[in-house]
Amino acid sequence: MRTHSLLALPCFVLALAACGEGGVLDESVKTTVREQLVATCTATAEGQIPEGLTVDLNQVCDCAADKVMDGKSVQDLVTNPPTSAEDLTKVRECLKEMGPVKLDPAGA
């Protein structure tokens, strides 16, 4: 499923980029790409967290999406869309920045 969403993303971005360049359109494309990155990250990570640990997936995935997109233009995102390996590296960076993972008192 992740592969399908990653394949659809460049097609969508390319179609929007073909409409023109600049301002509102670029921001709209970046917003759409970011939302897709966060949704994919969250969906992928949900089943990966061991029982008894609490991780704010929204915070981690927001951070990772920001890092993946940092400094990239719409053209960069179209010609070189983010990869799952890149996503994972950024998630790890965000987890390190956020500090230790918390134990869930209900799961302990």
| pLDDT on residue 84 | 73
36 found inside a domain: yes
25 found inside a domain: yes
| pLDDT on residue 89 | 84
| pLDDT on residue 4 | 47
CA distance linking residue 65 with residue 87, whole number of Å:
8
Residue-level pLDDT, tens digit, the chain, 108 residues: 444 444 455 555 555 445 555 577 888 888 998 999 899 888 888 888 888 888 888 899 999 999 999 988 988 887 888 877 777 788 888 888 887 666 556 544
108 found inside a domain: no
CA distance linking residue 63 with residue 70, whole number of Å:
10
| pLDDT on residue 21 | 52
Which residues, including other chains, have CB under 8 Å from residue 74's CB and lie 6 or more apart?
Answer: 13, 17, 21, 26, 29, 30
Q: How many structural domains compose the chain? A: 1
Give the residue numbers spanning the domain of 63.
2-103
pTM: 0.67
30 found inside a domain: yes
| pLDDT on residue 35 | 92
